[in-house]
Amino acid sequence: MESFRKNQRVFWTLASPGSFWLLFFFLVPLGIVWMLSFGEKAVIDGKISITETEITWTLANYVRALADPVYLVIIWKSVWISALATILCLVIAYPVAFVISFASRRWQPWLLLAVILPFWINLLIRTYALIAVFRTRGYVNFTLEWIYDALWLDRLFGPFEPLELLYNDFAVVAGLVYVFMPFMVLPLYASIERLDRSMLEASLDLGASQMATFLRVTVPLTMPGIVSGLILVFIPCLGSFLTADLLGGTNATMIGNVIERQFKAANDWPFGSALSFLLMYVTFGILALRALLTRDAETRA
């Protein structure tokens, strides 16, 4: 930092493209949405206008979102589904990250590539692929039926009844886990990779069981990776709408779907903006929680 202060010109040259980008493509649009959230549809000649919005600094949009329990119910449900998906991601990704970081040097890049590979395919297409996997006549049910028949269970209990895997909350959670898994694996991998292996050996040598070593040495030391992973998965889950749209059943609406609808079918941008900002405040709350947790961890250390 000190050297940057001495070489101001270099500092500004390097910082300006990024700052420009942030200002015009992030902060300005965000400011517009923020202002819209205090607006209402303009009334022209006694009729509510279809396209014109007036910024009247009304709080009506926020009142509407908070007073009608339906929106809080949906936000709560979104938090709940996102949390479940995030925890599942953690449980599945931790061993995966562990295996990758303990794999031989030759294999590591390939294993990491396998984790990142799905990113090369569009989210929409991956989600449609899940439909083919989960549906009544999908690959999961085909496989189960094959096993069922191979074990002659059909002669005992009658023909195989396909499982209803699609168009319910299970499908939404599974879809979110599938889509956001790499966001969990990569930070975990980064922190497990940095783990000092001699610590584990010391713990085991001093008589701690494998379980105790894991819980009291490995987990605390990889906590930064765990927290980053949780945040990186939870936040995009909370705002997602495509997964619920394509895989969800009749009550799989997440807050992202409601916001999308305000901007499209309902044509109510001010209200959609207010909902977006409420969602952002929830996210801020969670980030604040994270800051609090890391500060606690630091004081303990």
Partner 1 sequence: MKTYSPKFRPNRRSLLGGATALAGLSFLPRGTMAAEEKKLNFYNWDTYIGETTLDDFNAATGIEVKMDLFADNDELFAKLREGNPGYDLIVPTNDYVERMLVAGMLMPLDHDKIPNMSNLGANFRDASYDPGLKHSIPYMWGTIGVGYNAKRTGDITKSWKHLYDSDQFAGKISLLGDGANVLGHAMKYLGNSLNSTDPADIKAAEELLIAQKENIKVFADDNGQDLLVSGEVVIAQEWNGDILQVMADDDDLSFYVPDEGGLIWQDCLCMPTGAPHPDNAHAFINFILDADAGAAIADYIQYATPNAAAQAKLGPEYNENPAIFPSDETVAKCEFQLYLGEEHVKNINDAWTRVQAA
**Shorter beta-carbon distance to partner 1: residue 93 or 259:** 259
Q: Check residue 70 for interaction with partner 1 (CB under 8 A).
A: yes
Q: Check residue 50 for interaction with partner 1 (CB under 8 A).
A: yes
With CB under 8 A as the contact rule, the residue among 96, 127, 223, 245 that binds partner 1 is 245
Q: Which helix (H) or strand (E) holds 50?
A: strand 47-55
Given the structure tokens 């990758």, which residue do they identify?
100
Q: Which helix (H) or strand (E) holds 43?
A: strand 39-44
Q: Check residue 166 for interaction with partner 1 (CB under 8 A).
A: yes
Given the structure tokens 């590539």, which residue do they identify?
113
- DSSP state letters, 255-279: HHHHHHHHHTTT--HHHHHHHHHHH
Closest C-alpha to 173, from 95, 240, 250: 240
**Shorter beta-carbon distance to partner 1: residue 178 or 269:** 269
Residue 247, classified by CB atoms within 10 Å of its CB into exposed (0-12), middle (13-18) or buried (19+), is buried
- Gap between the Cα atoms of 110 and 142, Å rounded: 30
Q: Check residue 274 for interaction with partner 1 (CB under 8 A).
A: no
**Shorter beta-carbon distance to partner 1: residue 20 or 25:** 25
- Gap between the Cα atoms of 202 and 213, Å rounded: 9
- Gap between the Cα atoms of 196 and 191, Å rounded: 10
CB of 135 to partner 1, least distance (A): 6
Q: Which helix (H) or strand (E) holds 89?
A: helix 69-102
Q: Check residue 241 for interaction with partner 1 (CB under 8 A).
A: no
Q: Which stretch binds partner 1 (CB under 8 A): 7-15, 68-76, 92-100, 277-285?
A: 68-76
CB of 133 to partner 1, least distance (A): 12
CB atoms within 10 A of CB 141: 21
Q: Which stretch binds partner 1 (CB under 8 A): 45-53, 113-121, 149-157, 287-295?
A: 45-53
CB of 131 to partner 1, least distance (A): 9
Given the structure tokens 């984790």, which residue do they identify?
115
Closest C-alpha to 245, from 255, 233, 257: 257
Closest C-alpha to 252, from 111, 78, 61: 78
Q: Check residue 209 for interaction with partner 1 (CB under 8 A).
A: no
CB of 168 to partner 1, least distance (A): 9
Q: Are 141 and 165 in contact (CB under 8 A)?
A: yes
**Shorter beta-carbon distance to partner 1: residue 130 or 258:** 258
120-159 positions binding partner 1, by CB under 8 A: 135-137
Q: Using N-to-C axis directions, what is the helix angle for 69-102 and 223-239, rounded to 10°? A: 140
**Shorter beta-carbon distance to partner 1: residue 224 or 249:** 249
94-113 positions binding partner 1, by CB under 8 A: none
Q: Check residue 266 for interaction with partner 1 (CB under 8 A).
A: yes
Q: Which stretch binds partner 1 (CB under 8 A): 46-54, 118-126, 207-215, 292-300?
A: 46-54
Q: Check residue 37 for interaction with partner 1 (CB under 8 A).
A: no
Q: Check residue 184 for interaction with partner 1 (CB under 8 A).
A: no
What residues make contact with partner 1 under the rule CB under 8 A? 41, 47-51, 70-71, 73-74, 77, 135-137, 164, 166-167, 245-246, 248-251, 253, 257-258, 261-268
